[in-house]
Structure 1
Amino acid sequence: MRKSEAKRLIDEAYEAWNAEEWLTAAGLLEQVLAHYPDEKRSAVWWYDAALAHKFLRNWAKAYELGREAAARAPRGEGDPAYWNLGIAATVQRDWATARAAWTGFGIELPDGEGEIRGRFGPACVRLDTGGEREVVWIDRLCPTRGRVMNVPVTGGRRFGEIVVHDGEPKGHRVVDGHEFPVFDELLLFEASDLPTLTVTVNAGEAADLDALITLFVEQNYGAEPASSLNVLCACCSEGTHEQERTVHAGAQSVSLAAPEPEARRLLDEWAGEALPGRSWSGLEPVA
């Protein structure tokens, strides 16, 4: 391929890129890279081709091209080629490559081999399942995976599932003066076997509801009162939102994540503590 032909294809690739025609853009870049893998601009072309496949959720190609991009990127300087490779390698469950990518980016990982199960702190993820969007809290296990710590109200989503999220925050939540990023979900990595249930509880005081939540959390289950949910428009959700805990007393629906027999046992334990105003009814599974 002549360099003049390569230049024409590169120009066409970025025209397609600007039109968000990711498959066309990646294909044209790959044509050029087959002949010019190590030109001065090749590292950028490898990166963009991998990124286009990331946008397409074609993780095998994002992984393949991402390895080439990272091989041409400086280590320890926060180069995004390593971050995108880390995501793609995680999705492919190639833990050795994922570990090498994160350390190449400049992130310190817990010692060991295989799957990364670290403590990277709390963050939020915007779940997206067929157009429904819900922001939930996660406990980050690695730079791109987190365990869902809320009981989602979005159909088909569950407490305890592990999701892969993007690296660029799309919004922030501020709690008690501390700011936490909101990432977009890329995919469901590991499902949870804990069913979602709903129950109507009556709590004489807010402290009674807190006691119920604590009872479930101590057993590694989840409890989410309706009064704790906030509805935001898309614009506000992707901005910086100060979040206050709003758990109220009185009768309300609570979403639970627990096996039904365990949920009944814990609800009976909570209601049977001889404190006035505590009761529950109508425990039902959520389809």
Structure 2
Amino acid sequence: MQDDTARFQALHERAYDAFDAGQLCEARDLFTSLIERDPTSPHYHYMLALAHKYLRDWPACLEHNLRSLELRGAFDESSHWNAGIAATALGDWAQARAQWEACGIALPPGEGPVEDDFGIVGIRLNPWSHGETLFARRVDVVRAQVLNVPLPESGLRCGDVVLHDGACTGQRDYGEQVVPVFNMLELLARSPCATFTVFIECPSPDDMGSLLALPRPGVVAIEDWTESVRHLCLRCSHGFPHTHERSTDAWDALRSLGMAAASRGDVEDLLDAWKSGSPGRRVESVQAQEDEPTSPADGVVWWRGPEDDDDGSGDGSSDFEGSGRPVPGT
């Protein structure tokens, strides 16, 4: 009997260690083994659901969160939230609504998808590969539509609808507001607008203002990546090398833009109209690039944000994502 208890304790520790190390496939198998030995533990069903969540196996995630709730027989914020995320990913709107209502979240009436304005948030795209953070408008508790023009390497587009986590992993300034940042979990709906990388010579800020002020049928968004992207030089990475020796306060006439548009022709029409307005304006290149969002690799603990504490408690609603270890049998 003592040997059985020791083996069970060792299995328990291995399962949590695997999860904490980001070894989700191993954690999934180990928590499955724990449930076979202790099928009435809500903690193990919750942790198995959590492993399935980050593996993005939504049917299994929903199943084990619901089992966790059934075994607890009481409200559990973590299980309700993760069940709601899984149900949203699956398009099970009745189940998703039931989980959000259990959490006390006010929803617009109806039976289908939740469609409302839940405010602006930051979304960390592809968080498993150091993806960029941009802004999105939440149309649901855990669905958000991308507002910026993402870098094409992200595989995302302006207007895409993504599923995001319920755990806040930081915050960003948005105008005069401070908004929470959430990790993207999955692309749900593709925007019809493709992403175009545009390199121009723009003599002055006024010339940039003229471009932004022009009527732009078919072009839904323009992003000046020269200002907003700091961690790499897009011109050099796309084969347009140039000098970087300039004052940080000086206007750089060589601009790198991102445009979200229905077609390349719409982009070129806009740029032709802009060039004709003043000498010195020049278009070097218009490039279309279509990548796909990446997938997380096993062994990467990507769900914790850079602002999270070492103990995993994080900030804000990230508390309910912790993998706290109950004593086996409790």
- What interval of TM-score do these two structures reach, taking the shorter chain for normalisation? 0.7 to 0.9
Structure 2 counterpart of 1:18 = 17
Residues 1-287 of structure 1 mapped to structure 2, 5 A cutoff: 9=8, 12-20=11-19, 21-32=26-37, 34=39, 36=40, 42-71=41-70, 72=72, 74-75=74-75, 79-128=77-126, 131=129, 133-155=131-153, 156-210=155-209, 212-213=211-212, 221-231=220-230, 250-258=253-261, 259-272=263-276, 274=277, 278-287=281-290
Question: Contact 1:206/1:249 (CA < 8 Å) preserved in 2?
Answer: no
* Greater strand content: 1
Per-residue deviation, 1:94: 0.5
The 3-state SS of whatever aligns with 1:170 is strand
The 3-state SS of whatever aligns with 1:60 is helix
CA deviations over 1:43-88 (Å, ceiling 9, x no partner): 333322212221332211101111222344645xx71211100110
Give the partner amino acid of 1:260.
Answer: R
The 3 A distance-change label for structure 1 pair 138 and 68 is same
Give the partner amino acid of 1:282.
Answer: S
CA deviations over 1:183-239 (Å, ceiling 9, x no partner): 111111122232111223344543543453465788671211122324469xxxxxx
CA deviations over 1:91-127 (Å, ceiling 9, x no partner): 1111110111111111111222211221111111111
Give the partner amino acid of 1:25.
Answer: L
Matches of 1:247 and 1:229, distance apart in 2 = 16
Task: State the aligned residue count.
Answer: 264
Question: Contact 1:22/1:56 (CA < 8 Å) preserved in 2?
Answer: no
Give the partner amino acid of 1:85.
Answer: A
Question: Contact 1:59/1:92 (CA < 8 Å) preserved in 2?
Answer: yes
The 3 A distance-change label for structure 1 pair 104 and 8 is farther
Structure 2 counterpart of 1:236 = none
The 3 A distance-change label for structure 1 pair 284 and 9 is same
The 3 A distance-change label for structure 1 pair 94 and 215 is farther
Matches of 2:36 and 2:7, distance apart in 1 = 11
Structure 2 counterpart of 1:240 = none
The 3-state SS of whatever aligns with 2:83 is helix
Per-residue deviation, 1:9: 4.1
The 3 A distance-change label for structure 1 pair 49 and 198 is closer
Per mean C-alpha deviation after superposition, the further-off stretch among 125-134 and 153-162 is 125-134
Per-residue deviation, 1:247: 12
Matches of 1:194 and 1:121, distance apart in 2 = 22
Per-residue deviation, 1:160: 1.3
CA deviations over 1:216-270 (Å, ceiling 9, x no partner): 788671211122324469xxxxxxxxxxxx9966331211110112222333444
- TM-score, scaled relative to structure 2: 0.68
The 3-state SS of whatever aligns with 1:192 is coil
Q: Which 5+ residue runs of structure 1 have no aligned equivalent? A: 37-41, 234-245
Matches of 2:103 and 2:9, distance apart in 1 = 27
The 3-state SS of whatever aligns with 1:142 is coil
Question: Contact 2:220/2:260 (CA < 8 Å) preserved in 1?
Answer: yes
- TM-score, scaled relative to structure 1: 0.77
Matches of 2:44 and 2:128, distance apart in 1 = 32
Question: Contact 2:163/2:184 (CA < 8 Å) preserved in 1?
Answer: yes
Matches of 1:99 and 1:178, distance apart in 2 = 28
Per-residue deviation, 1:165: 1.2
Matches of 2:252 and 2:288, distance apart in 1 = 23
Matches of 1:111 and 1:231, distance apart in 2 = 43
Question: Contact 2:127/2:184 (CA < 8 Å) preserved in 1?
Answer: no
Give the partner amino acid of 2:86.
Answer: A
The 3-state SS of whatever aligns with 2:64 is helix
Question: Contact 1:223/1:257 (CA < 8 Å) preserved in 2?
Answer: yes
Matches of 1:194 and 1:163, distance apart in 2 = 15
Question: Contact 2:201/2:280 (CA < 8 Å) preserved in 1?
Answer: yes
Matches of 1:135 and 1:262, distance apart in 2 = 27
Question: Contact 1:196/1:257 (CA < 8 Å) preserved in 2?
Answer: yes
Per mean C-alpha deviation after superposition, the further-off stretch among 126-135 and 110-119 is 126-135
